Structure 1
């Protein structure tokens, strides 16, 4: 289908929807042990956990600090979300480093971003109402992932807190349903970038403008941060009931994504 005319750096308009491109998560190639050749690769491990999981068994693999933190949550669903994320993170990082789960030392940076001491592996975790997902890469200097339920509604009044004036102009022209969907895309993309940098919002989120480069179908940020924009790659994925954003920084021209569903059993992958 030919690309629509007009500004080549705006969200796509077609079939009545103004939207950044979204790839169905299950259409992304599965994680394998084969190398990604010269392309940088980010693997996404996702876990749509449910109430049937043996959470006491899962907790056995957490550190004392993680167990103590889980006990501080007022609501059980929040504690379960935390436990699920930490279990996914520890099990997956262990798989990629061949370091036993109990020997992993995952530290937190100045702004809370997890990192592995003395390792080149980059990874980042997100939790969102029944879904835990981890982005991990041996080829990228930084990765960030964010997910939100598709049904989440970000109120129009909150848009000015994280949307630029250019983004607000676009949102103001759209029907309510399309505006809500695009607003959620802006949110998760900016969150994924901030989580990748690990520095918090050095630049206010409403000073960052996201656009679509129609000739390449690539998602771009107008305002480069963290050592420039040319080495950043941004993607949107539509998972089971969730919208997922990935931001990754690499010195390679191309980035490929792979995905795999995670099993709830320690050391067991689908």
Structure 2
């Protein structure tokens, strides 16, 4: 059994709350029947251009869903109007808010896949990362050799069928969320990381030279009612950091 909790069981985070450190997950199970022409108009020009470049409409829709979610939530937390947000990217593509009043100390990260966009945001973490995948996604057995550590491969060798696929997907999403949080992305070989899961204590750790500086890293696995697996990585020295969630209302 994976140390995986239900997204819906997390405390509600309908709006920023002062006084208690938190990392908030906003999620949107978008629909194909949503008004995508109107949603597209809320995006920046460069985001609209990127959406137009996708070959398949479902990929363009997933991209627009994520960017709409990102702008909506960042606007709520920073009090900067969504169209005025300047979202820049670092060397390896990690996003951050350009120097704007209201956006100080905000860390955030976005992920989207078919049917679900998720976004994590915090003023109490020096780094956050998130990844989402459909739980029914089938990873080819040979891909394990590409991104799994020797210890992970040894554990996988004892499993078969759905149980093996479930663990393989957990390894992948956790490595994605961690590398997105550090800002390295896939410039670091995923097999150089080693994920350790303890189903008894629910503890999750990622062994990596990137986490060897004594920083307080915390990792979580969550599942959604839409049959998605979500991995969270946060870096914070606050032991009382609360993880919260909120479903983005459908646009009208």
TM over 0.5: yes
| 2:3 paired residue number | 21
Q: CA, structure 1 residues 213+241, in 2 after alignment: closer, same or farther (shift >3 Å)?
A: closer
| 2:105 paired residue number | 120
What are the superposed Cα offsets for residues 133-164 of structure 1, whole Å, 9 maximum, x if unpaired? 10111100110000000100111111011111
3-state SS, counterpart of residue 233 of structure 2: strand
Unaligned runs of 5+ in 2: none
Unaligned runs of 5+ in 1: 1-18
| 1:207 paired residue number | 192
| 1:5 paired residue number | none
Structure 1 length normalisation: TM-score? Answer: 0.86
Structure 1 residue 195, shift from structure 2 partner: 0.7
Number of aligned positions between the proteins: 247
Distance 1:214 1:260 in 2: 26
Is the contact made by 2:2 and 2:199 (CA closer than 8 Å) also made in structure 1?
no
- Alignment partner of 1:88 is 2:69: yes
3-state SS, counterpart of residue 65 of structure 1: helix
3-state SS, counterpart of residue 204 of structure 2: strand
Greater alpha carbon shift after TM alignment, 26-35 vs 243-252: 26-35
Q: CA, structure 1 residues 34+146, in 2 after alignment: closer, same or farther (shift >3 Å)?
A: closer
Distance 1:24 1:115 in 2: 28
Distance 2:241 2:200 in 1: 17
Name the structure with the higher helix share: 2
Distance 1:177 1:77 in 2: 27
3-state SS, counterpart of residue 62 of structure 2: helix
Q: CA, structure 1 residues 95+189, in 2 after alignment: closer, same or farther (shift >3 Å)?
A: same
What are the superposed Cα offsets for residues 79-125 of structure 1, whole Å, 9 maximum, x if unpaired? 11111111110011000000011111011111111110132100000
Structure 2 length normalisation: TM-score? Answer: 0.92
Distance 2:15 2:65 in 1: 24
Distance 2:90 2:208 in 1: 24
Is the contact made by 1:146 and 1:191 (CA closer than 8 Å) also made in structure 2?
yes
| 1:251 paired residue number | 237
| 1:78 paired residue number | 59
| 2:42 paired residue number | 61
2:166 paired residue among 168, 181, 192: 181
